[in-house]
Amino acid sequence: MGQEVRVRFAPSPTGALHIGGARTAYFNWLFARKHGGKFVLRIDDTDRARSTEASYQQILEGLRWLGILWDEGPDVGGPYGPYRQSERMDIYRRHLDRLLAEDKAYPCFCTPDELARDREALQREGKPPRYVGRCRDLSPDERSRRMAAGEPHVYRIRSRAEGETVVHDLIRGDVAFANSEIDDFIIWKADDTPTYHFASCVDDVEMKISHVIRAEEHLSNTPRHIVLFEALGAEPPAFAHVPMILAPDRSKLSKRHGATSVSEYRDMGILPEALVNYLLLLGFSPGDDREIVDRETAIQLFDLEKVAKHAAIYDVKKLEWLNAHYFRQQSPETLMDQAWPQLVERGYVAEGESRREVLMWVRTVVAFVQTRSRNLHELIDGMRPYFEPVRAYDDKGVRKHFAHPETANRLRRVADGLAGVAPFLAPVIEREFRQWIEQMGVKSGELIHPVRLAITGSTVGPGLFDVIALLGRDEAVRRLRETADRLEAGDVVTA
Ligand code: GLU
């Protein structure tokens, strides 16, 4: 690529960072990284009424959390700043003035009523709506007079009605639009602010954007943008429109299909690595059957020509599956770090804990529970038995495994046995257990199930001997004796 690759992600800060926006950002980022170019974050906030500071912050936070970092942007600056459109009004005004001086744009004084009547008339003739050109050729005198009189006005760009405009889309190939479909559209609104089309094209020129990679819904805007680039005297950038993301039933993806914003995924316990991998698969296939594609590999493989033309279907199961994969790969330290605030909240650890033996123990528990968890939530839940006393026993389990009249005695027997096991390691505990089972003349399940229920409150979980070893002798013995006491006192109803 001859020219320097410069791409931009240009969100409007009017809501959360959604999965579609994040995917667009990631594709831009991958493209920039692959070609040694620059990834620019530009905030399209000319719509003052709908833009919020909260949304702006959320977008930046979401991208940072995903590790999609920008080379130039509102917070980090760069050679073509400022990077928030609301701070660039003088730049847009300068370009508008030039277009007016060159007669490439003109003021339009048509009232909303007039425009509505024009539209109806066209409709009656079965024609598509377009601006009829009433103010196109007003004399300079009339323009000045009406301006001086303070008549409300917008500014329109001169388009041409004949021929066609072809968008050379790097994903879709050539897409032709009849110029009759492109009217003299508005570039500057009556409230004295630029339209999205105008601000976007001015910025793409000013910021030397080489490739515009954005959502498919903007494809129909592109012929207008080509008109603008020409008027601005600039070579249009290359375009690539990435496919829509649809729900499994092929309807538009929305709230009712579950989480759609990046912060919701984070709160669900999804890891950023899993989410970016998932974003890649929304429209890009690596070329073989592989689906696990980490960031570095994605940079190598990414190619706009391999982006699908057809819509991508959102599949939360795939995301969860990817998450489980990345989750297992994390180091226990990373997971501890991510889980820490919640562990503090639950009272499992103290906020500023630094004692080595405590940290080592938490690490051991995390490493152990990690192997059978798919996300941070499952991890934290799975840590419960090691940090909380057993407050209640699973109901069904109680009826099934605590009903035998000998249960309390058996639990005491195991407690006494454990008190003497040395070293207190899972294989040693298991060996001893087998002996007790034989001595008691019971089936292994008749001892293992009640012991698990007594120690964890649950009927399911990791290997019992591992759990006992991890919990430690004192705690395991205490829990068994306590359960026996409760059973004997009739505190636990087994029928
Ligand atoms: N602000 C527009 C959006 O969020 C940007 C479109 C573009 O990339 O040109 O859809």
CATH of the domain at 203: 3.40.50.620
With respect to residue 75, please indicate whether it lies within any of the assigned structural domains.
no
CB under 8 Å, gap of 24 or more: what pairs does 53-58 form? 53/13, 55/13, 55/14, 55/15, 55/16, 56/13, 58/16, 58/17, 58/263
Read off the tokens for 457.
């409150």
Contact 104, 231 (CB under 8 A): yes
User: What pLDDT score does 2 carry?
Assistant: 61
451 C-alpha to ligand 1 centroid (Å): 60
Tens of pLDDT, residues 50-107: 999 999 999 999 999 999 999 999 999 999 999 999 999 999 999 999 999 999 999 9
User: Which amino acids are annotated catalytic?
Assistant: 255
Tens of pLDDT, residues 248-265: 989 888 888 888 899 999
My answer on whether 97 and 208 are in the same domain is yes
11 C-alpha to ligand 1 centroid (Å): 6
Ligand 1 first shell, C-beta below 6 A = 10-12, 44, 200, 214, 218
> Where residue 482 sits, what CATH number does that domain have?
1.10.10.350
User: What pLDDT score does 240 carry?
Assistant: 98
Helix axes 376-387, 356-370, angle to 10 degrees: 120
My answer on whether 295 and 428 are in the same domain is no
User: What pLDDT score does 19 carry?
Assistant: 95
299 C-alpha to ligand 1 centroid (Å): 23
With respect to residue 62, please indicate whether it lies within any of the assigned structural domains.
no
With respect to residue 378, please indicate whether it lies within any of the assigned structural domains.
yes
My answer on whether 402 and 350 are in the same domain is no
Q: Which residues of the chain have pLDDT under 50?
A: none
User: What pLDDT score does 243 carry?
Assistant: 96
255 is in an annotated binding site: yes
My answer on whether 361 and 427 are in the same domain is no
User: What pLDDT score does 380 carry?
Assistant: 94
Q: Quick one: which atom of ligand 1 is closest to the CA of 212?
A: 8
My answer on whether 268 and 237 are in the same domain is no
My answer on whether 477 and 338 are in the same domain is no
My answer on whether 341 and 322 are in the same domain is no
**Residue of 7, 12, 84, 241 to mutate, ligand 1, most atoms within 8 A of C-beta:** 12
Residue type, 63: L
201 is in an annotated binding site: no
With respect to residue 19, please indicate whether it lies within any of the assigned structural domains.
no
My answer on whether 372 and 422 are in the same domain is no
Read off the tokens for 193.
């602010």
> CA 338, CA 351: separation in Å to the nearest integer?
13
- Of 191, 208, 242, the last residue of a domain is 242
With respect to residue 370, please indicate whether it lies within any of the assigned structural domains.
yes
> CA 77, CA 258: separation in Å to the nearest integer?
36
With respect to residue 66, please indicate whether it lies within any of the assigned structural domains.
no
My answer on whether 314 and 358 are in the same domain is no
My answer on whether 129 and 174 are in the same domain is yes
Domain span including residue 354: 332-387
User: What pLDDT score does 255 carry?
Assistant: 81
User: What pLDDT score does 1 carry?
Assistant: 52
pTM: 0.84
- Of 281, 308, 329, the last residue of a domain is 329
Q: Is 363 left (phi over 0), alpha (psi -120 to 50) or beta?
A: alpha
User: What pLDDT score does 258 carry?
Assistant: 81
Could you give the number of structural domains in the chain? Answer: 4
> CA 261, CA 450: separation in Å to the nearest integer?
44
My answer on whether 108 and 207 are in the same domain is yes
User: What pLDDT score does 288 carry?
Assistant: 83
My answer on whether 382 and 410 are in the same domain is no
> CA 382, CA 309: separation in Å to the nearest integer?
43
Q: Quick one: which atom of ligand 1 is closest to the CA of 214?
A: 8
- Of 209, 242, 275, the last residue of a domain is 242
Q: Quick one: which atom of ligand 1 is closest to the CA of 225?
A: 9
Read off the tokens for 383.
């840590």
With respect to residue 98, please indicate whether it lies within any of the assigned structural domains.
yes
DSSP 3-state of 39: strand
What's the distance, CA 252 to chain centroid?
Answer: 17
With respect to residue 42, please indicate whether it lies within any of the assigned structural domains.
no
